[in-house]
Amino acid sequence: MTAAQLTARRAGPLKGRVRAPGDKSISHRALILGALATGETTIEGLLEGEDVLRTAAAMAAFGAEVERLGGGRWRVRGLGGFAEPGDVIDCGNAGTGVRLILGAAAGFDLSVTFTGDESLRGRPMRRVLKPLGEMGATWTARSGERLPLTLRGGGLKHIAYRLPEPSAQVKSAVLLAGLHADGGAEVVEPEATRDHTERMLRAFGAQVEVADEGRERRIVVAGGQALVGTAVRAPGDPSSAAFPLVAALITPGSEVTVEGVLLNPLRIGLLETLREMGADLSVTNLREEGGEPVGDVTARHSRLRGVVVPPERAPSMIDEYPILGVAAAFAEGPTVMRGLAELRVKESDRIALMAAGLAACGVGVEEEPEGLTVIGTVRGAHGVAGGARVATHGDHRIAMSHLVLGLASEAPVAVDQPGMIATSFPGFVALMQGLGGEIEAAPLPEA
């Protein structure tokens, strides 16, 4: 049975070495490319969170043989393409899952219906449907351009597409469709976003051209390329590692090391920002694993100061703003975060929910249409009050961020719908408890 609430309270320092779960972005892509390829793909360190398990089930529905070998090891035998599934594809809470699979499926002569949970059914799909439509795919949706919708793929033609918003999901959808389009596909990003699709396509034997043109990036894939199964290793997810690392930074006396964290330059915006805030962060054992830079990251309790986060850094830390908001709450002086329009269409409206959650915990915040300023603590004054029940609207990162806050605030903090944490970080509570964090399945004690 899943608890209705989880409560975090301040205890001693956090100490220890842990491994973050496998990277969510890489895990989705490994399953999808494995299913599109011919031959065998083995995946080590796959994130066995609910989002990724939905993608695994979807790949089986499209005809791939998908086997869980245990201990995060998986085997996929692809057909070299997708067959029409016999049933609706339910992507649960996963925006990445559905958008990438829409792109991959569009390349084949099939019809398929996609749906998701309440949050995913409310999220915009036009961003992928527009370019896929220009390539020749068609769809019908019950209401607007949202799930549930039925896609008809096949007969795609070339597209040269300039992304209106920096989105690795949309880029990836177009590139995956381009693999099976006459003439391939070209995507121009206004700012570079995570490039795991490009890197992994190469590992599966595809040719992908990438050219930087000022801040823009142009990516070209030729059509008719066959993928060949390969061995993939998913490193630790920096977006998950962020929670124990920030918890250590804000809890006096703490020192925590997260091992094997993916340090792709397009994913480390949070680490850069925390360093600018004065965080004591160090990386050791820097190495390359499966074409991606990986290292062990150590965080020690630090006196943080507020900063202005450059808006152009947003794509490299887009999922980390909620936990940055928590770090900012414990920093001296304001932290200004702008250029965050995309945060309003994530698993929840993350600007609104962080503003509400932090305010409920006694933190000064100013919400803007595309930004958030966290006022931070004042030297000599008390720390963060806490003492709130936070409504997460089923958003895993809103839940984990406020639990981390509760580990260092004066009064405990409770979050609702904690079961959703399993979408991206199934072992979060046990991992934090192992470091000494007090998180329990109980409501907030009455004041």
Interaction of residue 410 with ligand S3P, rule CB under 6 A: no
Structural tokens at position 307:
């900063």
CB of 374 to ligand S3P, least distance (A): 20
Tokens 């490994």 map to which residue?
30
Instruction: Identify which range of 109-117, 164-172, 299-307, 426-434 contacts ligand S3P by CB under 6 A.
Output: 164-172
Q: Is 423 in the site for ligand S3P (CB under 6 A)?
A: no
205: left (phi over 0), alpha (psi -120 to 50) or beta: left
Decide if residue 319 touches ligand S3P (CB under 6 A).
yes
Closest CB 239 distance from ligand S3P, rounded Å: 7
Q: Does 167 bind ligand S3P (CB under 6 A)?
A: yes
- Tell me which residues in 170-189 interact with ligand S3P (CB under 6 A): 172
Number of other CB atoms surrounding residue 144 within 10 Å: 9
Stretch near ligand S3P under the rule CB under 6 A, chosen from 63-71, 156-164, 165-173, 209-217:
165-173
Comparing every residue's Cβ against ligand S3P, the nearest one is 25
Q: Which stretch binds ligand S3P (CB under 6 A): 115-123, 161-169, 325-333, 365-373?
A: 161-169
257 binds ligand S3P (CB under 6 A): no
Burial class of 380 by CB neighbour count within 10 A (0 to 12, 13 to 18, 19+): exposed
User: Three-class SS of residue 11?
Assistant: coil
Please give the residues from 351 up to 380 whose contact with ligand S3P meets the rule CB under 6 A. none
Upper half-sphere CA count for residue 241 (Cβ side, 13 Å): 31
- Minimum CB distance to ligand S3P, residue 320 (Å): 10
The total number of residues shown for the chain amounts to: 447
Nearest-CA neighbor of 223 among 139, 137, 159? Answer: 159
Question: With binding defined as CB under 6 A, does residue 444 bind ligand S3P?
Answer: no
Q: Cβ 199 to ligand S3P, closest distance in Å?
A: 12
| 25 near ligand S3P (CB under 6 A) | yes
Residues 394 and 378: their CA atoms lie apart, in Å, by 32
| Helix ranges (DSSP H) in 37-161 | 50-61, 95-106, 118-121, 126-135
Q: Which positions are annotated as active-site residues? A: 319
**Number of neighbours of residue 411 by Cβ within 10 angstroms:** 17
List the interface residues with ligand S3P, window 90-149 (CB under 6 A). 96
Provide the minimum distance between the beta carbon of 408 and ligand S3P in the complex, in angstroms, as a whole number: 25
Q: Which two tokens stand for residue 279?
A: 């965080």
Q: Which of 251, 218, 180, 210 is nearest to 10 (CA)?
A: 251
Question: Does 342 participate in binding ligand S3P (rule CB under 6 A)?
Answer: yes
User: In 3-state terms, what secondary structure has residue 178?
Assistant: helix
Task: Give 195 or 296: the residue with its C-beta nearer to ligand S3P.
Answer: 195
- Provide the 3-class DSSP secondary structure of residue 98: helix
Shortest approach of ligand S3P to residue 128 CB, angstroms?
10
When asked if residue 55 is in the footprint of ligand S3P (CB under 6 A), the reply is no
Q: Of 194, 267, 301, 350, which lies in the binding site for ligand S3P, with binding defined by CB under 6 A?
A: 194
User: Among 248, 281, 318, 331, which residue sits at the site for ligand S3P (rule: CB under 6 A)?
Assistant: 318
For residue 143, count CB atoms less than 10 angstroms from its CB and return exposed for 0-12, middle for 13-18, buried for 19 or more.
Answer: exposed
Q: How far is the CB of 27 from ligand S3P (least distance, A)?
A: 9
How many binding residues for ligand S3P (CB under 6 A)?
10
- Specify the residue, 269 or 406, whose C-beta has the smaller distance to ligand S3P: 269
d(C-alpha 411, C-alpha 390), whole Å: 13
- Residue 168 near ligand S3P by CB under 6 A: yes
Nearer to ligand S3P, 108 or 321 (CB): 321
Encode 184-212 in three state secondary structure. EEEEEECCCCCCHHHHHHHHCCCCEEEEE
Separation CA 321–CA 85 (nearest Å): 37
Residue 140: Cβ within 10 Å count: 11
- Using CB under 6 A, list all residues that contact ligand S3P: 25, 96, 167-169, 172, 194, 318-319, 342
